Amino acid sequence: MKIYLASGNLHKQKEMAELFPEYEIIIPSQEGIAFDPEETGSSFLENSLIKAKALWDIVKQPVLADDSGICVDILEGIPGIYSARYGGKQYPKGKPNGEKTPQQEQNKSLIEQTNEAIAMGKENPVYPNNKRSCRYVCAMTLYVGPDRFYVAQETMEGSLIDNLEQARGQGGFGYDPIVILQGTDKTIAQLSAEEKNAVSHRGKAAKALYHLVKNSLHI
C-alpha cells in the first residue's frame, strides 16, 4: 500500500518509512510529479494541510504531509514556520530573493541571535529559568479523501547550545546538532534513529496517525 509524502526531503522519507514500516512511502519526484506548493499558512498546521491537499488533488491516494520547525522561546518563536528559510536576524523569514541560507550559517545565526537576546536581558516568556529553551514542532496531516483528513501536532523540548563549537552528532539533519534534548546531555543529532523516533516531534505525530491508520481507517 502506498502513502504519498508531500515532500522532496529524503531525510523525511527515511523517517516516515521507519515509522510506517508496512507502507511504501513515496515522494512525488519518484513518480515524476512536479510538486512545490506555495506555503501561505500562518501556522505549522495550516501549511501541513495546504501541502497534504495539494498532493492529494494530484494523486487521489492517501497523503502524509508535515510542516515542522524549531521555535526559540526567548526569540518569541523565531524561526518557527520559517525554519527552512531562516536567514538570521536580518532575514528571519528568509532572504527576499528566496536563496536558501546554508544550514551551518542558519545554526550559527540562531545561536548568535539567542545569545544577543540573553545579553540584552530579555526575559524568556515560557521558561524564565532557561534562557535557551526551544522546541521542535511538527503538525502532520493524513489526507485520505475529499475534505477528509486527520491531524496530529507534537513537540520535542530542548535547549540551544551556547556556541557553534559545541555542536555535535552525525545523525538527524537541520538544527539537530545545536539542540540538546530536554533531560539529557545529548544533542538531537547524537540520538540513534530509534531513539529519535521515540521522542521526536515528527515521530510522536506520526505514531498517532499510524495507530489511526491501523486501528480505525484500515488503509
User: Is residue 11 annotated as involved in ligand binding?
Assistant: yes
Annotated binding-site residue? 9: yes
67 is in an annotated binding site: yes
Cα–Cα distance measured from residue 211 to residue 218, given in angstroms and rounded to the nearest whole number: 10
Among left, alpha and beta (phi > 0; psi -120 to 50; other), residue 169 is left
In degrees, rounded to 5, the angle at the alpha carbon of residue 114 between the alpha carbons of residues 111 and 118 is 135
134 contacts 41 by C-beta, under 8 angstroms: no
**Given 57, 67, 147, 185, which residue is catalytic?**
67
Annotation says 36 is catalytic: no
Is 66 marked as a binding-site residue?
A: no
36 assigned binding-site residue: no
Collect all residues with Cβ–Cβ distance below 8 Å to 157 and sequence separation of at least 6.
133, 134, 135, 181, 182
Task: State the amino acid at position 217 in one-letter form.
Answer: L
> Is 176 annotated as a binding-site member?
yes
- Please state whether beta strands 2-5 and 24-26 pair in parallel, antiparallel, or not at all (unpaired): parallel
Q: Does 77 show up as a binding residue in the annotation?
A: no
Q: Please tell me whether 68 is known to bind a ligand.
A: yes
Known binding-site residues equal 7-12, 38, 67-68, 173-176, 196, 201-202
Known binding-site residues for substrate equal 7-12, 68, 173-176, 196, 201-202
Known binding-site residues for Mg(2+) equal 38, 67
- The catalytic residues are 67
